[in-house]
Structure 1
Amino acid sequence: MSARIDLPQVRHMGRARLTAGLDRFQRLDLAAHTRVHPPLPRPTRDDVLDLAERVDLRGRGGAGFPFARKARAAVAAAGRTGTRPVIVVNGAEGEPPSAKDRMLLARAPHLVLDGACLAAAAFGAEEIVIGVAAGSPGEVSIPAALDERDLPCPARTVRLPERFVSGESGALIRGVNGLPVQPAAVKTRAAEGGTGGVRRRPTLLSNAETWAQLAVAARLGPEAYAAVGTAAEPGTVLLTVNRPAAAPLVVEAPFGTGLGDVLDACGLRPGDGVLVGGYHGAWLAPADAAGAALSRTGLAEVGGTLGAGAIVALPADTCPLGEITRVAAWLAGESAGQCGPCRSGLPDAAEALAVLAAGAGGPAVLDDVRRALGGAQGGGACSHPDGTARFVLSALDVFTRDVEAHVAGAGCGRPVLGVLPLPRDESARLEVDWSRCAGHGLCGVLAPGLVRLGPHGYPASTTVPVAPWQEHGARRAVNQCPALALRIRRPERAPGRPR
């Protein structure tokens, strides 16, 4: 394992728990880990379930589902079916503004593995599976950590595509099972096993921070664990605070800490608005953000959501609508494209937002955005349409003045600085050769969700990004174009980047 890992800096407010030792060590190998953290106890099954309930341990990947409830369901299903459960660590953090799980897997891998091994031993697990994003530091760090320690059962690392949808629990389990990494068309519960589990076994899945929190709680006990945080939400939480033109910070803070205090500690101000919860989260007005408490309850009181704990304060020198449009287009392309909201609703909303951002729309186009997102909510195979709708609709409410300026046609006059982080654009593009195009319109029939025709039958855009699920339609359009006016162009990949 390399001694140098290019990862976000780490800070803590109050006493460090998950981030303990990271001020002295770039990465905690087993020797450093045992110097920083006391020995891990060996609780029984009932001890682990009782501990998780007493500290109200909830998933830190975004949904906030009670860990004890999932664990009880998996244990019960294993007993009912005569099988042993599988423990899964979800480290496939595909959200650009979030870096906390990547940081843990790379810098404190043994703390995450402590939690997974503790549960595996207590529940008699058959296997531990750690899902990591391809090309992420965890792809090297976790196997190195597994080689250093004794394990209660076999363990393996599974490499998953670096895409937003890879972090969805159902998509991750499908990837572990060797299937396409996309949410299942029919929602199933991993804890029950069957088609929703790893090799049809009852599966207990949580994200990397949740497993690390379990290890901390087991060492401290419920009373000491609850000494920080709030009465309803004890303990600490990891936050990724994104900064313009600077690397993000991963901050550990007690639940209930003021959002304004966290921003101050990172040298930031609320600016024009603050995104909390990442790209499936919600925007807060500056005044609401400054006074909000960082907890599920505190954020809900001002219309926010904790989600994956990613925070972005939007400065006043960038165009809010332009920033939102960039992310909406990316989210539309990151979907699995297997249900109506993702195939139509999200692309329609992204296209309408682009028209508004260019100052070429009006009130009717704004209505189109709201209509497309409203139709996308509540009907998808996973939470992607709902999360995207929350991100965009809350932005329209917070950045009202900017939206009104673009609806009026003049726009806000500010450039789009790209403050909201996005990965390098590596999507294929469908290109139109105007010297050949004769306006047959066949491409619009073969790839209706990709090519939109103008009033005279010609494509409305010269280059169109192609999502993975749109590639089949794009190839059909290229192969069957009577004028041979279409081609698919793929970007050059950075040296060393995995294919």
Structure 2
Amino acid sequence: MTSPIAVSNIGGPRLTLGFDRFERLDLERHLAVHGKLFTPVLDDLVKMAEQVDMRGRGGAGFPFARKLMAVAAQIDYPSSEEAVLLPGEKEGRRRSSEDAVVVVNGAEGEPGSAKDKVLLNRAPHLVLDGAAIAATALGTQRIIVAVEDDEAARSVRAAISERRMPARVVRLTERFISGESGAVIRAINGENPIPPGVKVRASDSGVDGFPTLLSNTETFAQLAVLTSLGADLYASAGTEEEPGTTLLTIGGTQVVEAPYGTPLQEVLDHCDVPPGQGVLVGGYHGMWLDPQKASLATLSRSGMRQVGGTVGAGIILPLTQGTCPLGEVTRIASYLAAQSSGQCGPCRLGLPDVVRTLNALNDGSGFVDDVRRAAGIGRGRGACSHPDGTARFVLSAVDAFEADIEMHRYGGSCGLPVFGVLPLPVPTGSEGRVAIDWSRCDGHGLCAYLVPELIQLDRYGFPVVLGTDIPAWMERDVQRAVAMCPALALRVTNGMTEAPARRS
């Protein structure tokens, strides 16, 4: 198995221990490198996680001990001599510990991230150790590993077979929103793999309605390292407030393990990657830092907050010199708009509006205040965090690339091409876009009525098409609009078979 992702470390390996000797750690190599599995009881595991303030590595940074306790509150776990009801609980509410489920969220739908794929491909047993530790502490054997990548799925299945453990692998659709916890649970349950639209805690009702502990791949690997080293030795790396190491994906092509507290500039120098025109930290739901702020940033939650950034899921994307910053931002915003599940107003109408205001800013006809308004209007009102994360990405870009935006506003361009240096998925051929045959269009305006998310009318009544891929949830509406166009001018191109309207 050969990985195209370069893996290294700063200050010594933990999660990546053995990577310098082995391309993949099978069970024998894993035991030689990491030793035998140690499974503390729940109370001890919670204390260790609390002592080092272990947080989830999927982006939200939720305390892992609280997740454990939330699931334990729903079941009669082995360490309790009898079922002790919490304040306000009713008799019979708790489930058997055997009903609990542990889910490893290996969905890595964001194009700029590779750390979880690296762990699942090269150190699958470390991840399974962490899942087994949590499952044993909760008194269950139900472990599910949810993955998007074919190679990762094969690696995990092989590791499960080696261990002869009662775990299973579930394949997820590769989409940006696939990793949202509710979407993962729905996918495992055989439902439409999109966020549920309402807040449902997995600890209350997750897989098959049972209490579920769900965390991302690196979090479970970190749990295995914590249990192996013990809290004191684990805390010998990192800072006093944020102990330990974390995995970072740099530029979409390098994965680095580094201690918390490491200067961001040191990480970039280690990878031989300059900060360029700015650095995106936290991925496409993260925040942009201009070069000056990037030079002051440290790799920690508090360090990033001081410069207006976020660690998020550990994705760091420097924007190289020579490409148009505003064009790159617009390109990613268009992708994010097309990746929504279309369940709520902020996704259906708000994100396309953000793209329109960015397009206007690109050609010099728009205003920064319009972008801020469009990005902010739906914040906190979405069915999931996708609109908020996209708004955060766009609003931070407006601040970080102020000089470039001014050049666009007054000259219609900054003079730089858009090279597309920020990573996006390789097209599969299934993508499609709305197009207008201007030799036929008479400006009836029906298309804008049928698909206002993608088409609006200009002041003369002619359609203006949003330049994004057609979201999956809109495909039926678009085909209906194509079929109903009175002038046979509307069509779908680029990937989907070109389909002009036809009269019956």
Smaller-chain TM-score range?
over 0.9
| Partner residue of 2:161 out of 147, 152, 155 | 147
Q: TM-score, normalized by length of structure 1? A: 0.92
Instruction: Supply the AA of the counterpart residue of 2:94.
Output: T
Unaligned stretches of 5+ residues in structure 2:
77-92, 498-504
Does residue 473 of structure 2 align to residue 469 of structure 1? yes
Q: Secondary structure, in 3 states, of the residue corresponding to 1:111?
A: helix
**Cα gap change, 1:81 to 1:156, in 2 (>3 Å):** same
Asked whether the 8 Å contact 2:15–2:257 carries over to 1, the reply is yes
Tell me the SS of whatever aligns to 1:11: strand
Distance 2:427 2:164 in 1: 41
CA displacement at 1:444 relative to structure 2? 1.2
Quick one: which of 104, 118, 122 aligns to 1:89? 104
CA deviation profile, 1:173-230 (whole Å, cap 9, x unmatched) = 111111111111111111112xxx1100001000000000000000000000000100
Deviation, 1:483, is 2.6
1:202 lines up with 2:214 in the alignment: no
Q: Pairwise mapping of residues 80-479 of structure 1 onto structure 2 (< 5 A)? A: 80-83=93-96, 84-133=99-148, 135-151=149-165, 154-193=166-205, 197-242=206-251, 248-357=253-362, 359-363=363-367, 366-426=368-428, 427-461=431-465, 465-479=469-483
Q: Is 2:9 the counterpart of 1:12?
A: yes
Measured in 2, the distance between the counterparts of 1:97 and 1:464 equals: 19
SS at match of 1:137: helix
CA distance in 1, matches of 2:241, 2:400: 29
Q: Counterpart of 2:56 in 1: which secondary structure? A: coil
Compute the displacement of 1:462 (Å): 9.2
Please say if 1:30 is aligned against 2:30. no
Q: Distance in 2 between matches of 1:438 and 1:139?
A: 51
Compared CA separation, residues 45 and 462, structure 1 to 2 (3 A): closer
Deviations 1:30-52 (A, max 9, x none): 12211211111121121211111
Alpha carbons 2:55, 2:64 under 8 Å: kept = yes
Q: Please give the alpha-carbon distance, in whole angstroms, between the structure 2 residues aligned to 1:175 and 1:113.
A: 20
Distance 1:324 1:147 in 2: 44
Gaps of 5+ in 1: 494-499
Contact 1:278 1:311 in 2 (8 A): yes
State whether residues 352 and 466 of structure 2, in contact with CA within 8 Å, keep that contact through their aligned partners in structure 1: no
Matches of 1:491 and 1:267, distance apart in 2 = 37
Q: 1:214 is aligned with what amino acid?
A: L
Q: State yes or no: 1:52 paired with 2:64.
A: no
TM-score, normalised with respect to structure 2:
0.92
Tell me how far apart the structure 2 counterparts of residues 489 and 30 of structure 1 sit (CA, whole Å).
49
Residue of structure 2 in register with 1:497 after alignment: none
- Taking only the aligned residue pairs, the percentage that are identical comes to 56
TM-superposed CA distance for 1:409, in Å, is 2.7
Residue deviations 1:383-423 (CA, integer Å, cap 9, x gap): 11111111111111111100111111342111112111111
Q: CA deviation at 1:126?
A: 4.6
Contact 1:255-1:294 at 8 Å conserved across structures: yes
| CA contact 2:455–2:466 (8 Å) conserved in 1 | no
Kindly provide the amino acid, as one letter, of the partner of residue 194 in structure 2.
Answer: Q
SS at match of 1:408: helix
SS of aligned partner of 1:228: coil
Which moves more between the two structures, 46-55 or 212-221?
Answer: 46-55
Q: Does 1:70 align with 2:67?
A: yes
Task: Say whether residues 1:486 and 2:490 are aligned partners.
Answer: yes
Distance 1:410 1:360, change over 3 A: closer
Q: How many residues align?
A: 477
